[in-house]
Amino acid sequence: MVKKPRPQVKPIPAKPANVAKAEMIQTPAGRPAGSANRHYADLVVLPPACPMCEGTNFTPRQQTISREINGTLLDGRIYNRIVWSKARCTGCGQWVAFREFHLVNPQ
């Protein structure tokens, strides 16, 4: 495989100290005109619901247990931490257990 030659880069001359700001060329800030918008993936997150009354309001989470467990979900997302916690539904008083899968970057 033949490597392509690298293009020659011309050094940028330093700005003279005696040139006023009004004399310098002003370039517009931001994205160039006519460039396309960036496309982002849509993320839909459904809040957990109570199995009794289907409410989504809970007391603050209690009895939180976190374990470093690696795996892959059925949709292909990977995780390296599982967090189990419990909370009480504010609508009916039912205790609800939550399980969350997190991908935490190593420190």
pLDDT digits (tens, 9 = 90+) for 27-41: 677 777 788 888 877
- pLDDT value at 15 more than 70: no
Cα gap 88→102, rounded to integer Å = 22
Amino acid occupying residue 93: G
Predicted TM-score of the model (pTM): 0.53
**Ranges of each domain in the chain:** 47-107
The 10 Å CB-count burial string (b at 16+, else e) for 21-56 is eeeeeeeeeeeeeeeeeeeeeeeeeeeeebeeeeee
- How high is the pLDDT of residue 35? 80
pLDDT band at 16 (very low <50, low <70, confident <90, very high): low
- How high is the pLDDT of residue 36? 82
- Of the listed ranges 4-8, 53-57, 66-70, 100-104, the one predicted with least confidence: 4-8
| pLDDT tens figures, 64-93 | 999 999 999 888 889 999 999 999 999 999
Write the burial class of residue 69 (CB in 10 Å: 0-12 exposed, 13-18 middle, 19+ buried): exposed
